[in-house]
Each structure stands twice: as structure tokens, then as C-alpha cells.
Amino acid sequence: MRYCRDMHGYGQTPPAAEWPDDARIAVQFVLNYEEGGENCVLHGDAASEAFLSEIVGASQWPGQRHWNMESVYEYGARAGFWRLHRLFTEKQLPVTVYGVATALQRSPAQVAAMVEAGWEIASHGLKWVEHKDMAPDEERAAIAEAMRLHTLVTGERPRGWYTGRCSVNTVDLATEFGGFDYISDTYADDLPYWYEHGDRQQLIIPYTLDANDMRFATPQGFNSGDQFFSYLKDSFDALYAEGAAGSPKMMSIGLHCRLIGRPGRVMALARFIDYVQSHEKVWIARRIDIAEHWAKTHPPKPATERPSQMPEAEFVERFGGIFEHSPWIAQRAFAGELSPANDTAIGLHAALAFQFRAASDEERLGVLAAHPDLAGKLAQAKRLTASSTEEQASAGLDALTTEEHARLTDLNNRYVTKFGFPFIIAVRDHTKSGILAAFETRIENDRDAEFAAACRQVERIALLRLTAMFRDGQALHPLGQRTAA
């Protein structure tokens, strides 16, 4: 079983963004231009639009025009766009437009203003319609037609892609189409990341649905400009503080001409822009600028072997000795659910430890019995595994005095006689004296308590071994990499 979703990403330590001029945050304003590309029977669609408007509870009208809905969208093109254009140009802010190709074609004056202002015009698909039920070939054709039409309307091929109302295939299909500096059909992170599909590595710049004026038109959304401003300010403050603490992130703000372009809302956006511009070390950028920076500063790394993608024989060979002489644990882990989250030391340990814990007491006893005595006959005969040899040496157990060796031999004999398995401890966590002290304490346990203690130590040893492997690059994959389904 393989679970394609990546629930790990960059993990606890995301990469240093290294934004220009040591910025603490990268802020990016997206203006969605959809007016004229929405569902409408005039556009050859089966029904009217019902998404993201002032009409509460709107539903599609099959085979009919919805005059009110059409006029709401028309407001965005006729009035809202120009109000926002004045605001952004007066504030001298760079903007990325998500332009629906058919909407752009129907708005030549607006497109000319975007180009003159130096705004990036990324593709927002061919039409502002749902893609979730499209067959791959149909969606692939829609992407190609969007590229053709966008290029003819704007004079340039778009370098960024965002469908919005996407399908499960959208990102893969756009990656296959090729030529995009970035794709934004995910909301999975605060930083860009590389996505792997086939033999291609595609840069993903995540977008936002929370710092987005669409919530003026959704249940439990914003009902006033003050709420919108407050939410944007809190988001900015949190990310700015993280940047000041050494972990800069990216903040995207999603806007729509027909929503934030209303006079009762636009002043909240203006206040937020003033707030952002009052701070030092803020990089306000277009998404293409962020893409170029990330590709240069954090280029894709060659894909190394990932545990979740290895063939079974290689997986078992590589990790069958993590639990001492017990390859069946690796075999069961391989047969279980593995995902990108298991491609780290902690993640792979979780998969292996799960199988160890799920095993019978007899099977776990076999794992305990497979461990060698500390500084015992196998060590003297140099017949330990490489891992055990290194671990025992790390605590000085290969250099015992005669007195220490005699004491340890006595403890080993008494322990095995009492419990039926050798004393096990993660020696990398202890000094020689600490190991001897733990031995003296644990030998007084009852059998059940010591069995549980020994199992915990077996798991700890396994984690330390995996941590060393990943640190040395033997099993690590590029952090933050996504693998296609």
C-alpha cells in the first residue's frame, strides 16, 4: 500500500527562504480576473454561474441566463477592476493576475492596463468552471487551448498556472504540458516546494483560501472590511514574527474584482497595504519573482532513493537489520501503508516500530533474543553486526578493564537466567558507567516490566540507527519533495 499524499513536507525545519535584502516575509497580491469567463449559456455552458457572488444561496439555472449573476460579474470588470488598478498603481505595488483566458479576451482595456502596469498575467485556465468531473483528455485539451488563447490575447505565454476549481489531475496535467515556472493549485505550505511527476520536477507556489476576499461570499466568512483587515494583519504579523525569528515565509493575498472591488471593502485592502508598507524588510513581489528566486536559491535536487518508493528486495536489504536480525519487520512495513511521511528517519521508524509493536509476544521475544550480550562472547570473537560493533564501541564497551568485564559478565549471566533474553540498552544514550548503573537497576524488575523496558530500548536503538543512516545520506530524500500519485 502506498499513500500518495505528503503529510510531512519540510517538517520541523523548513529551508531558509533567503528572500532578497534579507526580507522577513514575501508578500504577494493576486488579482483573480474571471469576469466574462464564468459559467453562462452565452459561453456555451449548460447553466448559469453560482459561485463567489453577492447572491446568497445562488444555484445554477440550467439552460437559462441569470441576469443578476451576470451583472455582479460585470461589476467586477466595469468598476471593481479599475478601482483596484488605481489602488495598486498609486501604491506602486507589483501584482500577479490570475487571468481566465476567455475573460481576458473579453476585456481588452483591462488587459492593456495590466500590461502597462508591469503586472504578471498568469493563466487561470480557459474558463472559470469546475474541472473535477473532466476526463484527463478533456482537461488536457482545455489547458492547451487556454495557453493558445492567453498568448494571443496578452502577447506572451503565461509562466504561471492556477486553475482554482481543479481536478485531482490538474497539477499533473499542467506539469506534463510543461513550460510553467510555477503551478499554484495547492494550499499545502507557506513556502514554495518542488513536486515530482514522472521525470519532471515542477515548482509549486502554494496559494491561499483563507487570506482571500472570497470569504466575503462564503458562509462563516468576512462580513465587513474590518474583519478582512484584521485577518490579513494577524496573518502578516504571525509570519513576520517567524521571519524575524529566522524562518521567513510567504504570504499570498487572494482578491477578486467583483468582491474586494466594492467600495465598502476596498478601504480595508488599502489599510492593509499601508500596514505592510510601514514595516521594514518586507519583499512585495509577483509570483513569478518568487518562482525565479526559489529556482535559483533552492533548485530541485536529484531524486535519491526514497524508502516508500524502493522495490521490496532493496527495502528489506537496506532496513532489515534496523531491528537486530529481524528482516520480517521490514517486510511487514513494506507491505503496509508507506507514504512520503515515511521517507524520513522518524517516519520510517514509525512504520517499522508499528510492525514490531503489532507482533506477538513470541515474535518480539525473538527480536530481543537476537541482540548480543554487551561485551559478550560475540564481541570478543568480533562477530557482532557492524551496527552493534560501532554502538558498543561508542560507549567504551570494547575497552573494559578486567574488573569491569567481570562485573558485566556476571550481570549478563544473571539477567539472561532471570528473563530469558539479553540485557538491551541504547548504548549511544549512555556512558559506560551509566550502562552499568542501568543494568544494576533493571535486573531488579519483574519479567513483564523488563520485557516492556527491553522493547522500548529496541525501538530506541532502531531510531538511532535510522537517524545515523539519514544523516549520512544513505536513505534521505530531498526535503519537501512531493511525489505524484
* Residue range 377-403, pLDDT digits in tens: 434 434 446 665 565 565 556 556 677
| β-pairing verdict for 193-197 and 200-204 | antiparallel
Instruction: Render pLDDT for 131-176 as a digit per residue (tens, 0 to 9).
Output: 888 999 999 999 999 999 999 999 999 999 999 888 999 999 999 9
Predicted confidence at residue 464, as pLDDT, reads 94
3-state secondary structure at position 321 = coil
Q: How does residue 98 score in pLDDT terms, banded at 50, 70 and 90?
A: very high
Q: For residue 353, what is its C-alpha cell?
A: 516500530
**136 or 1, which is more confident?**
136
Q: How does residue 304 score in pLDDT terms, banded at 50, 70 and 90?
A: low
- Per DSSP, 302 falls in state P
Question: Exactly one of 124, 371, 430, 477 is catalytic; which is it?
Answer: 371
- Least confidently predicted of 187-201, 230-244, 367-381: 367-381
Predicted confidence at residue 387, as pLDDT, reads 64
Q: For residue 5, what is its C-alpha cell?
A: 499524499
Phi-psi region of 303 (alpha: psi -120 to 50; beta: other; left: phi over 0): beta
Q: For residue 187, what is its C-alpha cell?
A: 494550499
**46 or 18, which is more confident?**
18
> How many Å apart are CA 355 and CA 328, to the nearest integer?
9
3-state secondary structure at position 79 = helix
Residue 485 pLDDT more than 50?
no
**Cell numbers 559478550 correspond to what residue?**
376
Instruction: Render pLDDT for 203-247 as a digit per residue (tens, 0 to 9).
Output: 999 999 999 998 888 877 888 999 999 999 999 999 999 999 999
Q: Angle at the Cα of 134 (from 130 to 139), degrees rounded to 5? A: 95
Identify whether 371 is a catalytic site residue.
Answer: yes
> How many Å apart are CA 97 and CA 33, to the nearest integer?
7
Instruction: Render pLDDT for 247-283 as a digit per residue (tens, 0 to 9).
Output: 999 999 999 999 999 999 999 999 999 999 999 999 9
What is the chain's mean pLDDT, rounded? Answer: 89
Give me the mean pLDDT over the 25-31 stretch. Answer: 98
